Every structure is written in C-alpha cells, then in structure tokens.
Amino acid sequence: MAVDEAIAAISGQQGQLPTVRVYGWRPAAISIGYSQGVRETVDVRKCARLGIPLVRRLTGGRAVFHDEEVTYSVIAGKGCLGSGSSVLEIYKRIGQALVLSLERLGIRACLRRTASRGAEWGGARGLAPCFSSVGRYEVMVGRRKVVGSAQRWIEGAVLQHGSLLIGEGHLQIARLLPHGETDEREKMTQELREKTISLGALLSRQVSYAEVASALFFGFQEALQVRLVPGQLRFEEETVARRLVRERYGRQEWTLRR
C-alpha cells in the first residue's frame, strides 16, 4: 500500500505514463477500504489470534481477503489512461486490459457496467466484501466476478488496485465477520461462491502466479498502448514509502482509525 501511494505521489504526476505493479501477499492478509469501519467489517481480535494482518488501503471499496490471488496496481498521470479522464472511463480502460489479460489465459470475460456497489447484496448488515459487490465497469465471466477493483485519485494521479482470484482463498473472509452468527457466515460464503469465480475453477487446473502476472502485463500493454519495461522503485519513491509505513500503514492507529 505504501509503495503504491509513494509511486502515485512521486511519479504519478500529470501526464506521467503508467506504472504497473503486480504482487502477492505474505502472509495472507485483509485489506480494508479507505473509509471502512474496521470493527464493523471484521473480527479484529480473531484476525490477531489467527495471525492475519489488517491493512487499510488508499483506495475505497470493501474488505478483501488476499489469498490465492494476484494483486495489480496501476498508477498514472491523469489523461494517460485514454482520452477521457473520468473515474468511469478509467475503470473501463483498465477493465479492457483485464479482459485482454484473461483472454491471454484462455478465459472469455466481458466488461459489464452495473449498479452501484453493494446494491445486489443484502446479507450480513451490508458488510458485503469487495468481491460480492458489483459496480461501475466490472470484469465478469457470465454473471460472476473474477476481478475486484477500486480506484483513487490523488491530485494529478490515478491509482487503481485490483485482485484476480486464482483460487478460493477470498472466501475465508466470511469466517472473520464481526459477531457473525454461523448462519450469517454461511450465507456470505454462499453468496461469494455464487457471485465470484476463480481462474482455477474456470480453467479446471492450477493457475500459477507467474502466468497471471505475465498475462496482466500483456493486457495492460495492449489496452493502454504503451511499451512496458521492467523497472524498480526510485530512491524518492522508496523514501516516501518508508515514511508512509512509519506514519500510516504500519500504525494500528491508522488501520483501526474507523
């Protein structure tokens, strides 16, 4: 989270071409949306007992259990992700990259413009995790979501995060509901099963992190019409990232502030 924000702050200035990162999470962890109330979302003490870290994202949206998935982040100056510069247009452009990435993996997905987030989910007191809510342009296979994404604009830059499901690790969030009754947890698990599908399930085989990463870079390169080359963090980005960890992402006051 800190690195993505640092890149946005340092390199995501107006007119800056995109930077794309892909990564996994070690250990598996839960990310909370920027404005989410953490205690209303997950059982914080249970997470602690199980050794599951909690981090607050810079992007909005709802809680995500990051396990058996590949996370992407795209950071670019405004105006560099297509001719338009609205939130919706950028969702669409990045969505097109994701559709191309999935096609590369042999999966036929489509972009669907849908209702606002959470509108379709009525369970667990509106605590729908990110993957069960459908809003903006979503990448769908049939009627099921395979990627969850969230976007944030920071001055001259746009940052979009998202996760591609490789397996069913994301379902674990249901057992971490706060004060959740067994019925409620089962209902959430069932709804997540109905509304999401993993790449592994779609391809009926084990899907590796490396092939998903490769497909993502291909899709972003094609859809954004840019030439992507391996890079590394700049000194200034790393300095800002370390400061952000000290002051924000590494502090429980930040994570638990709501």
Q: Is 214 an interacting residue with respect to another protein (CB under 8 A)?
A: yes
d(CA 141, CA 258): 34
* DSSP β-bridge partners for residue 196: 145
Asked if 4 and 22 touch (Cβ cutoff 8 Å), the reply is no
Q: Segment near another protein (CB under 8 A), from 85-93, 112-120, 131-139, 221-229?
A: 221-229
Q: Is 182 an interacting residue with respect to another protein (CB under 8 A)?
A: no
Spatial CA neighbour of 127 closest among 209, 187, 84: 187
Q: Is 167 an interacting residue with respect to another protein (CB under 8 A)?
A: no
d(CA 200, CA 198): 5
Residue among 8, 10, 32, 52 that touches another protein (CB under 8 A): 52
Spatial CA neighbour of 74 closest among 21, 33, 137, 111: 21
Q: Segment near another protein (CB under 8 A), from 84-92, 143-151, 167-175, 237-245?
A: 237-245
- How many residues are listed for the chain in this entry? 258
Examine the residue annotation and report whether 130 is marked as an active-site residue of this protein.
yes
Residue among 3, 128, 158, 201 that touches another protein (CB under 8 A): 3
Residue among 87, 111, 154, 256 that touches another protein (CB under 8 A): 256
d(CA 233, CA 241): 10
Q: Segment near another protein (CB under 8 A), from 134-142, 167-175, 198-206, 250-258?
A: 250-258
d(CA 29, CA 15): 33
| Residues with a known catalytic role | 130
Q: State the residues that interact with another protein by CB under 8 A.
A: 2-3, 17-27, 29, 44-45, 47-49, 51-55, 71, 76, 209-210, 213-214, 217-218, 220-222, 224-233, 238, 241-242, 245-246, 249-253, 255-256
